[in-house]
Amino acid sequence: MEAHKNHIPAHAHAHEAAEPEDTFLQGVKDCIPTLLGYLSIGFAAGVVGHTSGLSVMEVTLMSLLIYAGSAQFIVAGMLAAQGSAIAIIATVFIVNLRHVLLSAALSPYFRQLTPLKTMIIGSLLTDETFGVAVNQTAKKAAISAKWMNGLNVTAYLNWIAATVAGAFFGQWITNPEKYGLHFALPAMFIGLLVTQVMSRGKIRKDLFVACSAVVLVIGASFVLSGSVAVIAATVIAATLGLVVEKWK
């Protein structure tokens, strides 16, 4: 028996050791650290959506179909400001264009999957699950579809539950700004930014790009509207970041 154990190929042991990291359940577990952010941001989005005039059912449908925190905050704000349907759709489309870049960045890790399976993964990808997945790519050359689905589905269900809860309890919260709920989304992105900067270990380069983005958005605001200036500064700063990243 002992001799038989000694003849087990080394790659078999490696496979057994790596297997738990590739399961759907492991994807669920890896999503747990981000759930507090989903619950707080989702609750805030539900409250803001309700105070803007949306019903609990409408907030639920928006979470099911749009599933984008920033877009849902924007929709609520534009509805409160009585924005037109065309303006709301166009704004949400522009804001969500970043998901194309997020999906494209992870697509090389799922080339072996069918188009339908990659579409499912891409449609449930968020800023948070992208961040978790990127950290996973630093540890291994491939990402399991089961693991990614576990990560995405857990985040999706928690987001829906949080927004529905926020919409339900929003009837007793008439002034979300009083409790700082309007700042929940920027706070989440600041947290994600700090986490990514610290994990990359390239603080000087990241700070240079961040400072450049601030200077760009201030300069662009003199010639462009506020929202357009932010988009322009984001694109230029991202391009600058790519150049700095590739520059040895």
**Could you tell me the residue ranges of all domains in the chain?**
23-200, 202-248
Asked if the model's pLDDT at residue 4 lies above 60, the reply is: no
Asked if the model's pLDDT at residue 105 lies above 80, the reply is: yes
At residue 15, what are phi and psi to the nearest 5 degrees?
Answer: -65, -40
Place of tokens 């057994």: 16
> In the predicted model, what is the mean pLDDT of residues 2-12?
45
pLDDT tens by residue, 60-80: 999 998 888 888 888 888 887
> In the predicted model, what is the mean pLDDT of residues 127-147?
82
What is the model's pLDDT at position 161? 94
Of 235 and 178, the structure prediction assigns the larger pLDDT to: 235
> In the predicted model, what is the mean pLDDT of residues 35-54?
83
Contacts of 230 (CB under 8 A, 6+ apart): 217
Asked if the model's pLDDT at residue 234 lies above 90, the reply is: no
What is the model's pLDDT at position 14? 42
Of 230 and 30, the structure prediction assigns the larger pLDDT to: 30
What is the model's pLDDT at position 9? 47
Asked if the model's pLDDT at residue 19 lies above 50, the reply is: no
> In the predicted model, what is the mean pLDDT of residues 208-232?
78
Asked if the model's pLDDT at residue 171 lies above 70, the reply is: yes
What is the model's pLDDT at position 13? 44
What is the model's pLDDT at position 64? 92
For CA atoms 220, 226, 232, 238, give the dihedral sign: positive
CB atoms within 10 A of CB 201: 8
> In the predicted model, what is the mean pLDDT of residues 92-113?
85
Instruction: Please report the DSSP string for the chain in residue order.
Output: -HHHHHTS-HHHHHHHHHGGGGSHHHHHHHHHHHHHHHHHHHHHHHHHHHHTT--HHHHHHHHHHT--HHHHHHHHHHHHTT--HHHHHHHHHHHTTHHHHHHHHHGGGGTTS-HHHHHHHHHT--HHHHHHHHHHHTT-S---HHHHHHHHHHHHHHHHHHHHHHHHHGGG-S-GGGGTGGGHHHHHHHHHHHHHHHHHT-HHHHHHHHHHHHHHHHHHTTTS-HHHHHHHHHHHHHHHHHHHHH--
Range with the lowest mean pLDDT among 36-45, 95-104, 201-210? 201-210
